[in-house]
Structure 1
Amino acid sequence: MHSPITGTAAGVPFTALPPNDDGPAPLIVTWHMLDAPRSDAAFAAALPMNGLPAWRVHLGMPMRGERMADGSTAAISELIREDALMSFLHPFVRQAAEEFTAALASIRAQLSVDDGPIGVLGGSLGGAVALRVLAETEIPVFAGAVVNAAIRMRSVVDLLSDDYPYDTESAKAVDSLDFVAEAGTIAGRSPLLVVSGELDHPALRTDALHLVDALGERAELLSITELAHPLADEPGIEPAPQLPPAREVDAGLTTWLRRHLTETGRL
């Protein structure tokens, strides 16, 4: 098994896990959680998907990992106190999604990936980024997956802020990150695996079920019995041994992505 490769792609830090075989291979791109594992390196350790004959490139999210201000979460905590939606959640997801096109071009230039459709995967708030890529870009995707994802941003706002004071601008922003409402577009882009921990926040669990229902035959739900919201132990910044629930998620993701790679004739 090859060692991880670290680098930057158009300013975005990444941890890349190469396939075992040399030569151009399919590409899977991920966005990590804000809970543990909260860096690209830690997410790669939690969900390595080693059984896939593909590049797994784990991107760093804004203000996390190498881009964390002063090496701490203080800056994010301050933004949440200022305005959980308009200072933090909405611009955070927007930046991660908008910087992806340039990052993808840079990844293709640096690594021996093939030129076929990619796979996308996101955990928690990273799930909102993956869903936004599906809903709002034309980047070819052969399959997507989300884990304990931020599917409806109103649910996330409710977790971070009691009685959030919506106005016209913030209501428009939060509704732009309701991916149940975008189910028709997402279904037309790629099949989607929705992984939901049975111990996750009830609102996020409900949103996962609603998204699967809205996507119909284009989606599958994978429920993980012992999984709460995080996939790793705190602090979740450095790579750590894979926990049993994360191992179960990892196996499900590997099976899903391998199946759809096979269907495209690339395995």
Structure 2
Amino acid sequence: MAVSTAITGTAAGVPFRAVPPQGDPADAPVVAAWHLMDAPRTEAAFAAALPLAGLDAWRIYLGLPMHGARLPEDGVDGLMRLGYEDAVRNLYGPISAQAAEEFAPAYAELRSRLGFRDGPIGLLGGSLGSAVAQLVLAEGGFDVAAAVLVSPMSQLSPVVEAMGRRFGVTYPWAEPSLEIARRLDFVARADELTGCPATLLVVGEEDDEPGFRAPARRLRDALAQRSVEAGLVIVPGMGHVLAEEPGTEPAPQLPEAAEVDRLAVDWFSRHLG
């Protein structure tokens, strides 16, 4: 009999929130999801914003390093200080790298504990969480049937430039940060993303054009040129975030997030099997 309540805890040190399927939990597919650095910025808040309502699958929301239960000792202030010191080398690079690296052991432990099947999975990520999903796809060796990337970080450099415009600073690129940018340039790495046959990119109409919307179009085009079923949807009225601040606890779903949820459920229902 299917379990109806969410299961929370840690797996291989990674905080998670797992929502069981409506049907047979041993035979349902799995969607792994990573939240944004902006709201919603924890696994619980992301699960409330994008619950994948009506999708008969395991929905496993994973907490990013340096967020939620794993904030630095001095909390949000410490996280912000690291960002001001060097957002690429202190935040974007290490958070995405660690989250992608810790997914395999966390997934293995969750499969052992929850008993879900070992088969093609779905990947869902928002903003920096989308970079984690793409790293897992490119480097993780998983059988991925479908991916949904929301407010996606398709290329790091334009994102950093967008943040610079927002805060009135110019980021001092150097070789260590350029190396991170190359790793997180998924347009350039499109050949490594073709193992997933169906990828949907969802961007807000009010999100930054050069930082997010234009790179999403470039990634969609690069994937389509490589025979991937690649979709791009612009959600009217949506900016970059998917929940109200502070974005750390479950909150009422915004209308724009409900539309993203509907799009993701439709995509996974058609492609995840």
Q: 2:250 is matched by which residue type in structure 1?
A: P
Q: Does residue 208 in structure 1 map to residue 177 in structure 2? A: no
Q: 1:258 is matched by which residue type in structure 2?
A: S
Identity %: 47
Gap regions ≥5 residues in structure 1: 263-267
Contact 2:25 2:58 in 1 (8 A): no
Contact 1:80 1:160 in 2 (8 A): no
Contact 2:143 2:195 in 1 (8 A): no
Q: 1:83 to 1:111 in 2, by over 3 A?
A: same
For the residue of structure 2 that corresponds to 1:178, the secondary structure is coil
Which residue of 2 is the match for residue 254 of structure 1? 265
1:165 counterpart (172, 180, 183): 172
Which residue of 2 is the match for residue 176 of structure 1? 183
Measure the CA separation in 1 of the matches of 2:51 and 2:74: 24
Which residue of 1 is the match for residue 111 of structure 2? 108
Shift of 1:71: 7.5
2:17 counterpart (9, 15, 29): 15
Measure the CA separation in 2 of the matches of 1:156 and 1:90: 13
For the residue of structure 2 that corresponds to 1:143, the secondary structure is strand
1:99-128 deviations in whole A, cap 9, x for unaligned? 111111011011131111111110010010
Say which is worse superposed, 149-158 or 68-77, in terms of deviation.
68-77
For the residue of structure 2 that corresponds to 1:188, the secondary structure is coil
Gap regions ≥5 residues in structure 2: none
For the residue of structure 2 that corresponds to 1:251, the secondary structure is helix
Normalised TM-score (structure 1): 0.94
Shift of 1:228: 0.5
Which residue of 2 is the match for residue 186 of structure 1? 193
1:116-162 deviations in whole A, cap 9, x for unaligned? 11111100100100011111121111111100011111122223343
Q: Does residue 227 in structure 1 map to residue 230 in structure 2? A: no
Alignment of 1:19-98 (within 5 A): 19-24=21-26, 25-70=28-73, 72-98=75-101
Measure the CA separation in 2 of the matches of 1:249 and 1:148: 10
Which residue of 1 is the match for residue 253 of structure 2? 242
Q: 1:60 is matched by which residue type in structure 2?
A: G
Shift of 1:250: 0.2
Shift of 1:67: 1.1
Normalised TM-score (structure 2): 0.92
Measure the CA separation in 2 of the matches of 1:244 and 1:160: 25
Contact 1:131 1:186 in 2 (8 A): yes
Contact 1:14 1:58 in 2 (8 A): yes
CA RMSD of aligned residues (A): 1.4
